[in-house]
Amino acid sequence: MELDTIAAISTPPGEGAIAIIRISGDDSVAIAERMYRGNQNLRDVDSHTIHYGHLVQPATNETVEEVMVTVLRAPKTFTRDDIIEINVHGGVVSADRVLQLVLTEGARLAEPGEFTKRAFLNGRIDLSQAEGVMDMIRAKTDRAMNVAMKQVEGRLARQIKTLRSELLEAIAHVEVNIDYPEYDAESVTLKRLEKQITAVQTEIDQLLATAHQGKILREGLATAIIGRPNVGKSSLMNALVQDNRAIVTEIPGTTRDVLEEYVNVKGVPLRLIDTAGIRETEDVVEKIGVERSRQALSDAELIVLVLNANETLTEEDKALFATIEDFNAIVVLNKTDLKKEIDESEARDLVGDRPLVTTSLLKEEGIEDLEAAISHLFFDEGVEGTEINYVSNTRHIALLNQAKATINEALDAAQADMPVDMVQIDVKRAWEHLGEIVGETAPDQLIDQLFSQFCLGK
C-alpha cells in the first residue's frame, strides 16, 4: 500500500518532562537523518535502538534541540511502517519546533488517530482493536481499562471472526447445493443451515448479554443525585468524590447549576451529576437550575433520590417518587443524626423494593453502604470475572443486534420453507454486519469518521 510519511506530537500539550514527536512512513529515517547529529548515522543503526544527539536546522546546521531518537524499522512497529520517535525536552515550544522541522523536511501532519489507522490499514489490528486503543486512553477505571485491553488484544475480533467463518461455511454449503442439486435434497440443506445459524445466534446472544455492563464500564453510568433543596445532595456528591467539589451550605437552593464528576464506586465508573434542589421557585436563577435538574433526571441511567430524615415527607418528595418510577433508583435517607421526623413506614412504601440506604453525611456514616448498593445494582457478584469478554462499544452492540435480527429473518424464512437461496441472502447480510465490527465490510467513510475521533498523535 502506498502511504505517505506522517508526523505528530504524541504526548499531551503543555509542560512535561519529555515530549515525543512520532514519524511514520517510508521517509521517516531519511527525514530524521537530515536533522540529526550524533555519533552514528541513523541509517546504519539497528532497529529498535535509541540514540542521543542533537537536532539541527539542515539548511544552517544551527542546533535546535538536544534529543534521544528511537529508530523502529518496519514491519515490527506500531504502524508496521518505519517509525522514528524523537524524544525532546518537554514543553510546548520545543515539541512544536521539532514538529515544524519534521514537516519542513517532508512529512505531512498526521490526522487524529492516523497512526492507529495505519496499523489498521496495514493489517496489524482490526477495527475493534483500534477502537480498543482509544478506549484504553479514555478509560476512567481499572475495570474499564481491562475491558479495553482485552479488546486491543483482539479477543472480540477473534470471536467475531469465528462467527463469520461459521456463517460463511453455512453459505458455502448452500452454494454447493445450488450448483449441484443432486448433492443434497433442498430440505436437508435447509435443516443443516438452520442448525448452523442457530449456533451462531446463540453465541451472539451470549455476547449481547454482556453489553449492558460492558457499556457501563466503557462510558460510565450517568447518575443523577436529586431531591428537594437542602436534603444533602451536594454533601453526597462530595462524599462519593472524596473532595469538596460542590458548595454545601445550610441555605436551601445553594446548588444552582448541574455539576458533573467522574467517580469510581467499587469499580463502577459513575458520571455523577449533582443537581439543584427541585422545588417551585420564583428565583430566576434557581428556576433555570431546577429546569436543568429535570433534564439531568431524564437523561440519567441511575437516580439517587435523597430524603431528609429530619423532615416529614412533603408533596414534593412524593412527586419526585412519581417521576423516578421508570428509573433505576436508590433512595438515600440522610441526616439520621438528627431527630427522626419522617414517617418511616410511609417512606418505605414509596421506596418499594428499591434499595434504601440510611446515611449521616455530616458524620460520614453510611457512605460505604451506598457504594455497595450502587455496585450491587449493576454487578452482581459472580457475574464479573476476568474471563468475561465484554462487548462495550455502542457501535458493536448495534451491529450484533442487526446480525441477530437478520439471522432471525433467515430462520423464519427457513421455517416457512422459502427457497434456500433466499434464506442464504439473509445469512450473507448477517455476515456483513459482523464484518463491520472488525472493519472488513465497513465503508471507508465510517472508518474515517471513527479514526477522526482519536487523539492527535495516536
Ligand X SMILES: Nc1nc2c(c(=O)[nH]1)N(C=O)[C@@H](CNc1ccc(C(=O)N[C@@H](CCC(=O)O)C(=O)O)cc1)CN2
Which residue positions form the known binding site for GTP? 230-235, 249-255, 274-277
Interface pick for Mg ion out of 255, 334, 336, 406 (rule CB under 5 A)? 255
Say how far apart CA 296 and CA 316 lie, in whole Å: 18
Cβ pair 107, 23 in contact under 8 A = yes
Q: How far is the CB of 100 from ligand X (least distance, A)?
A: 21
What residues form DSSP beta bridges with 360?
A: 365
85 binds ligand X (CB under 6 A): yes
Of the pair 118, 218, the CB lying nearest ligand X is at: 118
Interface pick for ligand X out of 24, 77, 360, 392 (rule CB under 6 A)? 77
Interface pick for Mg ion out of 128, 196, 234, 359 (rule CB under 5 A)? 234
If residue 186 lies in a helix (H) or strand (E), which one and from where to where? helix 186-208
Cβ pair 270, 292 in contact under 8 A = no
Among ligand X, Mg ion, ligand GTP, none, the one that 124 touches (CB under a kind-dependent 5 to 8 A) is ligand X
76 binds ligand X (CB under 6 A): yes
HSE at residue 271, side-chain half, CA atoms within 13 A, is 15
Q: How far is the CB of 38 from Mg ion (least distance, A)?
A: 59
280 SS3 class = coil
Of the pair 1, 339, the CB lying nearest ligand GTP is at: 339
Q: How far is the CB of 234 from Mg ion (least distance, A)?
A: 3
Contact region for ligand X (CB under 6 A) — 76-84, 197-205, 281-289, 440-448? 76-84
Strands, E assignment, 4-161:
6-9, 18-24, 36-38, 49-57, 62-72, 83-89, 108-109
**How, if at all, do strands 108-109 and 83-89 pair?**
unpaired
Say how far apart CA 400 and CA 396 lie, in whole Å: 6
Among Mg ion, ligand GTP, ligand X, none, the one that 85 touches (CB under a kind-dependent 5 to 8 A) is ligand X
Could you report how far apart the first and last alpha carbons of the chain are, in Å?
20
Of the pair 13, 252, the CB lying nearest Mg ion is at: 252
Of the pair 179, 250, the CB lying nearest ligand GTP is at: 250
378 binds ligand X (CB under 6 A): no
235 binds Mg ion (CB under 5 A): no
Q: How many CB atoms lie within 10 A of CB 179?
A: 8
Give residue for cell 451529576. Answer: 273
Q: How far is the CB of 316 from ligand GTP (least distance, A)?
A: 12
Q: Which residues bind ligand X (CB under 6 A)?
A: 76-78, 85, 124
Q: Which residues bind Mg ion (CB under 5 A)?
A: 233-234, 254-255
